[in-house]
Every structure is written in C-alpha cells, then in structure tokens.
Chains A and B, each alone.
Chain A
Amino acid sequence: MKLGPKAAAAAITVSAALALTACGGGATGANNPAAAKTTTLTLGTVQEIRSWDPAQAHVGHILQPYQAAYDSLLLREPDGKLSPMLATTWKYNDANTKLTVDLRTDVTFSDGAKFDAEAAKANLDHFKTANGPQMAQLTAVTDVAVVDADTIELNLSTPDPSLEFYLSQAAGLMGSPKALGTEAIKTEPVGSGPYVMDKAATVKDSQSVFTARKDYWNNGLQKFQKVTFKTLTDLTARTNALVSGQVDGTLLDPKTGKQAEGAKMALVTNQVDWQGLLLMDRDGATNPALGNLKVRQAINYAFDRKTILDQVLLGQGTPTSQPFGKASGAWTEELENYYSYDPAKAKQLLKEAGYETGVTLDVPSVPGFETQLAVVKQQLADVGITLNVGSAITNTYTSDVAAKKFSSIYFTLFQGEPWVAINQIVSTKALYNPFKNASPELQAKIDAVQNGAKDAPKLAQEVNKYVVEQAWFAPLFRVNQMYYHNSKITVTPQIQQAVPSIYNYSPA
C-alpha cells in the first residue's frame, strides 16, 4: 500500500484525535470542583517510609505518615504544647529521674489487641533495642516498669528535659504488642491511630493509602475518609503533581514556590533549620586561627546576611546570629543581630588577633549549596579570609565529621528543642562538636539545662548566649520552609516541622 501525502496527513490527524479523546477521559475528575467538602487527602511526601515498625520512625518530614497509623503517648499541638493522647497525665519525681505516665483504658489496636501498660512497656522496650534512626531518644531511659494496668514508670539514668517531647515523636508511637518485631509490621503498620493501611492499594516507593478506622477513639483527629501519601522525591515531580491537582499539599522551595503561587496554591511557611558555618575547631587543633576568638568573631562580622539570603533563597528566611531556633525558648531578641555586617570591624579584629596577613578556612563542598558557598567565599575574601572549598561531602560525611576531618563546615541543621539542639551541636557528646570543645562555664550552663525540667528552655538561653559570644558558629539565616496546598484543604503549620503533623489538615 502506498500512502499519498494527503492520506498520510489524514491518518495522522485521525490518530492524534483518537489519542486525545482517549486521554481526555482519565485526567478530569480530579479537577472537578467538589460541591461538598472533600473526604480524601492526598499528600506528596519527600521520602519513602523505610519500615512501618514504629521503632523505625524518624523526625520531621518522615514522622507524618506514621501519625496516620499510630497514636503517640503525648500529642504535640501545632504550637509545640504537649497534650494528652494515649497518656492522660504524666509527672516527674522531684529529681526528674522518674516519669510516671497514666494511660487511657479505652483504646484498642487495629488488630484487636488492647492498649494498656504492658503494651506501652513493650513498645518502649522495643524502641530501645530495635536500632531505629531515633533510638537515641530513649538513651536516658534505663527501664520501664508497669505499675498497674494503666500506669507505667520510666526510670532515667540522668534527667532528660526532652523526654516528654520525645514521647510525642518517634519514641511515643504505640504499635500493637502482638505485631512488634514481626516481619509483617515492616510493610503494614498495626497501630491505634485514626487510619488503617489499605494494603492492596499501597505500592512501595510510590504510594501508601490509608482509610479511616471505624470506631476510632479520638474522632476529632479523624478528618478524612481516605489519606494517600504519594512518594515524590523529585522536587519537579512534587511541583507538577501539586499544580496539576494530583496532590493536595506538598513541600516545595522558593523557586518552585513561585510556580505554585502562579497556580493559586496557598503557602504555609515555617522556620525549621538554620544555615551557616560551624567553626568546629575552636581549640585550634588543626587550624590555629580558629582557636582565636577574635578570628571567629571577625568571620561573623564579615557577612552581609540579608544580601546572601536575598541572593540565594530569594529572601525566604530571616538573618540571624544565633543557632537556637525562634520557637525553642532558647532564642533571644538581643542575640538575633549580635553580629551585624561590619567588614571594617572584622579587619580590625583580625589585626588585633595577629592575622592581618590573612586567614585560611577549609570547608567541604556541600552538594546543593554551591551558590551559598560562592557568596560566603566572596564576602570572607573582602575582609581578608580565604575560604577553600574542598571536595564534595559524600555518604561518609557524618563519620568524617566525627573523625575531625573538617575544621569547619557550611551546613544546614535542624533547630529542635533546646536539649535536642545542645546534644546535636554544643555538648561534648554532640556529633557537631567533634573536637569536644568545652569549658567549665559552659558545662555548668549545660548541666543547668539538663536539670532544669520545665525551666530548661529559659536556662538554655544562657548556653545560646555563650556560644554566640564565643562565636562557635557563624549562623547566616533561618530558612523558610515552603509548604503549599490547594484550596480543598486547610493546613495549620506545625512548630519545628517543615511538613505539618497529619492532625493539622482539615477539609476546607
């Protein structure tokens, strides 16, 4: 058969038309403006859940899907306040070494098992031994005792001001004692939470589908009939899925946020991380210049933080000189602009420190932070400090940090509760204090926080002040997390989380 040009053109037109009609059927529906309130929630998540075993739960972005399946002992409200959930009351002894927790008696797990003191103990014991990514949350807990059917006692080796917070996070998630430690719970959660997994519709690395649990004890928290977590690790994919209506909410960044705003998506913003330099070798073990306080302060005065923020993050953040987060309680107004941009002062300090001829600073390159490092390098050069950007960090990064391979690093870090932050960047046990810098004065302030119980956040202001004055870091800014959602739902931001807790979503 020979096709003339006209016949060929006709054939192409016909097949194109057929293809378009065929395609038209599938894509609508999702965009249909619903007259009634939506009963489904579809969220784009940035990471796949490794295992549904509650002991394998993580912080931040990754906690949210677990909250669909599991209730926690304490509930963390959007503003950070801790409220009862599976625990009704909880109280420390005077020495803060024993936490007595009263539990609800009317809760069952989705497999029918009853939630009681034995179940709570089984979970906490399991968490301590299951080698999960947050196992450090229960490091201070030596043992869990069952007092009666609805009371447990957590005995601590040392006071831990973050413990109550942890019981609202990974360590507080309660799974069915029958399922803990089995192979099955890794792929199918068994909790007492508002939703149960629809195993048939769930595909690893693609989506996890949940439906409302019948007779859930806490109806106020169950706002949808169906919740789907769609795994979208790629930022472009998340943006496309949101603006085309495939997901109701997801985490974007300043640049893709513009596209979402163009598509009339609403923004929920929150500050969760800080970004800047960690001047880790404060005793000058490998870089003597860093052992000099004036040099570290000069580095801090060298930065025009506002300009850097505008250039690299389109202004999405707040310039700061302190590493502790605004919501942590350790934050103070006076430290916010402690080091204002003053290149002349920076040069003067270098001169006084005897480093008039210049200082060299080595940092590893951080993938994704190339622009930041270029601007930082430029501004340091302006006051006579040379920033050598070395080879890129790899998956051995954390062990390289621990092995004192870097005297300073440029990084972005989570701003958690004060005691969490102290154990992350300040104390001698902290991963990001590899040279184990310490002083009796600082240790006294840290001890005060540890034993401070309810006053811990306020006492941590002193730790914050110390590390700012001593220029342990050169923070640049807190970063705005850009969570976007469509008009079918309302979303309340959750303190210290880029991705809100599952309870914070409601039909609009």
Chain B
Amino acid sequence: MIPFILKRLGSGIVVLLAVSILTFSLLYVSSGSIARNILGDQATPEQLAVKEAELGLDQPIVTRYFSWLMDALGGNLGASWFTSEPVANALATRIPVTMTMVVVAMILISIIATLIGVAAAVKRGWVDRVVQIGAIIGDSIPGFVIGIILVTILAIQMGLFPATSTIAPGVGAEAWVLSLTLPVIALLINGVTGGAQQIRSAVIKQLERDYVRTLRSRGIGEREVLFKHVLRSAAPAGLTVLSLQLIGMLGGVVILESIFALPGMGPMAVTATIQSDQPVVMGVVMYTVAVVIVVNLIVDLLNGWLNPKVRVS
C-alpha cells in the first residue's frame, strides 16, 4: 500500500513539473506585451525597458523558469505582476469559495446520482425511462445556461436568492448558503444526470452477472445482494465517473463564478490569463493540477478498499 502511494505521489510530482514547464513556455510566448499592458498605451520605450527589467523579463526563459521553480519549491509562489498581491494569499482567499461550491455539489451529486442510478437499474420500466430522458435533457443544457435560468426565475422574478454573491467578511452562514445555492444547483443538474446514467449501467451490468444469480439461488435477500455485493462491484465505475466530474467541475465553475460574481478562483484565473499575469496563472495551474492528482489518488485508494480485485500488488 505505502509503496503504491509513494509511486503515485512520485508520478504526480513528475506531472506537476511537466505541466509547470508547459505552462511557463506558453506564457513566455505572450510575455512580450506585459510591460506595455501594465504601463499603458503612452509609455515610452525607456519606461517599458525599466519595467521589463523589474519583472525579470529581460532574462532568458530558462533562467526565469528556474528562478520561479526554486522560489516555488521554497513555498514562495511570487506576487501578481498587476496587483502585487502575493499569489499564496490570492489562492488562500479564493480557494474556500470555489472548493465549498465544488465539494458541496460533489457530495450531493454522489448521493443523488447513486440513488437515482440504482433505482433506475433495479426498477427498470418507467422509472428507468424517466431517468434516461432526464439524463439526456440534463446533459444537453450547459451549466451556465441553467445558472442564468435559475437567476432569472428564482432571484430576479421571485427574489428568493441574491442575483450575485453577497459573501463578505462577517456576513454569516446565511449569506454563504443563499449565495451558493443557485450555482450549486446549476452544477448539480449536469452532474447528477451524467452520474446517474453511468451508475445505472454499472449496476445493470453487475445484476446480470452469474454471481448475482448464485447469491440469489442461495436465498440471500435482494437488499443484501444489492448493497453488499452489487454496489460494491459497481463502485469503481461510479467513482471514476464522479472523480472525472469533479475535475471537469473545476473548469465549469469558472463561468458560474463570473455569472454569480463569486470571489472564487474562476474570475481570478480568467483575468490573470487575459493579462498574462504569469505568477498568478502558474499558481492557479499548479493548484489545479495538485487537486487532480490528489483526487485521482484518493479514488484509486477507495477503489482498492472497496474492491480487492483492483488492488495493485
């Protein structure tokens, strides 16, 4: 077990390094305009040169990359070129908002999608058809469209929720709940419909296996067959789908956070990318890649725990 975790962590570090090199190179291509973007249209060539030297843009890319890497390894992600805000600070204030949204949505998706998926697989008939049709409809509407529909009806017309976030220091739990409800629902609809569909197929596949027939023939109750055996065997497929959804969600929240004016990672990532704010973009990318690596690792471990067959020797 421990060697497996270490091996996965090792490959995670390689992935992090590779992504950092790739991102840094991509940003390098557009770094020629940084000084002008900061100083404005009328800055003179001398003023531009001073700014470029100040940001280290006059150094070769390899030097710049290694100086960034050394700082990053020492825990210093640098500061935004545009706002001077330390990147670690920026991430620390935005991550709670984004992660609250994603984690709450994920927990709800896991529960609801499993319930619906299992119900469709076990009951079949009209329940199954409703789930199938719902999945197609839910999957075909992008989350941000759902978000806009929800705001228009529930916030603007009915006034039940704030149209844009009211999260601020000292506002209390109520503002958090009210501000996050609509974006979480928007994330939920896509996630549940997609997830339920996959869990349904996985459960059906298990229900058709010989071991289920054997268990049933030995007089084991239907509930025990379903919860103790079938769900356990179907779990890897479900977990994989859910983990992919979580990773996809990190991208999906960007637009939702803009629409709902939530002070999360999304708007910061977008602004930093448009401005080529290298330290911030690097920070956001590294954080996101780290989340993906950790999520994948957790899913693998959970899979091994649930189903000894997939355990790595």
Residues A234 and B168 in contact in the complex (CB < 8 Å), given A26-B174, A399-B36: no
Within 8 Å CB of A400, what residues of B? 33
Contact A241 B168 (CB under 8 A): no
Classify chain B's interface size.
35 or more
Q: Is A486 an interface residue (CB 8 A)?
A: no
Contact B148 A236 (CB under 8 A): yes
Contact A232 B44 (CB under 8 A): no
Interface of B is mostly: helix
Residue interface bits A388-403, CB-to-B below 8 A is 1, else 0: 0000001111111010
Within 8 Å CB of A51, what residues of B? 83-84
**Whole-angstrom distance between the alpha carbons of A400 and B30 in the complex?**
11
Residue interface bits B46-62, CB-to-A below 8 A is 1, else 0: 01001100100000000
Contact B82 A204 (CB under 8 A): no
Q: Is A464 an interface residue (CB 8 A)?
A: no
Interface-side segment among B105-113, B132-140, B263-271, B285-293: B263-271
Q: Is A504 an interface residue (CB 8 A)?
A: no
Contact B44 A136 (CB under 8 A): yes
Interface-side segment among A127-135, A277-285, A356-364, A469-477: A127-135
Within 8 Å CB of A131, what residues of B? 38-39, 47, 50-51, 54
Within 8 Å CB of B50, what residues of A? 131
| Of the residues A206, A395, A396, A431, contact of B168 by C-beta under 8 Å | A206
Contact A243 B156 (CB under 8 A): yes
**Whole-angstrom distance between the alpha carbons of A246 and B42 in the complex?**
37
Q: Is A48 an interface residue (CB 8 A)?
A: yes
Residues A398 and B36 in contact in the complex (CB < 8 Å), given A205-B267, A244-B159, A423-B42: yes
Q: Is B24 an interface residue (CB 8 A)?
A: no
Within 8 Å CB of A27, what residues of B? 155, 159-162, 178
Contact B44 A186 (CB under 8 A): no
Contact B261 A396 (CB under 8 A): no
Residue interface bits B144-169, CB-to-A below 8 A is 1, else 0: 00001001100110011111111111
Contact A203 B169 (CB under 8 A): yes
Contact A206 B165 (CB under 8 A): yes
Within 8 Å CB of B308, what residues of A? none
Classify chain A's interface size.
35 or more
Residue interface bits B248-268, CB-to-A below 8 A is 1, else 0: 000000000011110100011
- Expressed in whole angstroms, the minimum distance between the Cβ of A156 and any Cβ of chain B is 16
Within 8 Å CB of B174, what residues of A? 25-26
Q: Is B40 an interface residue (CB 8 A)?
A: yes
Q: Is A20 an interface residue (CB 8 A)?
A: yes
**Whole-angstrom distance between the alpha carbons of A14 and B259 in the complex?**
30
**Whole-angstrom distance between the alpha carbons of A200 and B40 in the complex?**
32
Q: Is A368 an interface residue (CB 8 A)?
A: no
**Whole-angstrom distance between the alpha carbons of A226 and B32 in the complex?**
42
8 A Cβ contacts from A116-174 to B: 131-136, 139
Contact A240 B163 (CB under 8 A): yes
Contact B162 A244 (CB under 8 A): yes
A-B interface contact total, Cβ < 8 Å: 152
Contact B30 A246 (CB under 8 A): no
Q: Is B74 an interface residue (CB 8 A)?
A: no
Residue interface bits A416-459, CB-to-B below 8 A is 1, else 0: 00000001100001011000000000000000000000000000
What is the chain A residue whose CB lies nearest that of B45?
A: A402
8 A Cβ contacts from A189-208 to B: 200-201, 203-207
Contact A205 B160 (CB under 8 A): no
**Whole-angstrom distance between the alpha carbons of A58 and B155 in the complex?**
34
Within 8 Å CB of A396, what residues of B? 29-30, 32-33
Residues A205 and B268 in contact in the complex (CB < 8 Å), given A27-B162, A398-B37: yes
Q: Is B76 an interface residue (CB 8 A)?
A: no
Q: Is B23 an interface residue (CB 8 A)?
A: no
**Whole-angstrom distance between the alpha carbons of A85 and B148 in the complex?**
45
What is the chain B residue whose CB lies nearest that of A424?
A: B41
**Whole-angstrom distance between the alpha carbons of A47 and B288 in the complex?**
25
Contact A240 B155 (CB under 8 A): yes
Q: Is B193 an interface residue (CB 8 A)?
A: no
Contact A23 B44 (CB under 8 A): no
Contact A135 B43 (CB under 8 A): yes
Q: Is B75 an interface residue (CB 8 A)?
A: no
Residue interface bits A4-38, CB-to-B below 8 A is 1, else 0: 00000000000000001001111110010000000
- Expressed in whole angstroms, the minimum distance between the Cβ of B180 and any Cβ of chain A is 12
**Whole-angstrom distance between the alpha carbons of A191 and B208 in the complex?**
74
Contact A395 B163 (CB under 8 A): no
Within 8 Å CB of A232, what residues of B? 164, 261
Q: Is B85 an interface residue (CB 8 A)?
A: yes
8 A Cβ contacts from B161-190 to A: 161-170, 174-175, 178, 181
**Whole-angstrom distance between the alpha carbons of A423 and B42 in the complex?**
7
Sample of 8 A–B contacts (CB below 8 Å): A20-B160, A23-B160, A27-B162, A134-B40, A234-B261, A240-B163, A244-B159, A431-B41
The 10 closest A-B pairs by CB, nearest first: A136-B42, A240-B163, A206-B263, A244-B163, A234-B258, A399-B33, A133-B40, A237-B261, A396-B33, A23-B160
**Additional A-B contacts beyond A236-B258, A237-B261, A244-B155 (20; CB < 8 A):** A23-B160, A27-B159, A136-B43, A136-B47, A139-B44, A186-B84, A187-B85, A206-B168, A232-B261, A234-B258, A241-B164, A246-B164, A246-B166, A394-B30, A395-B37, A395-B274, A398-B33, A398-B37, A399-B36, A402-B36
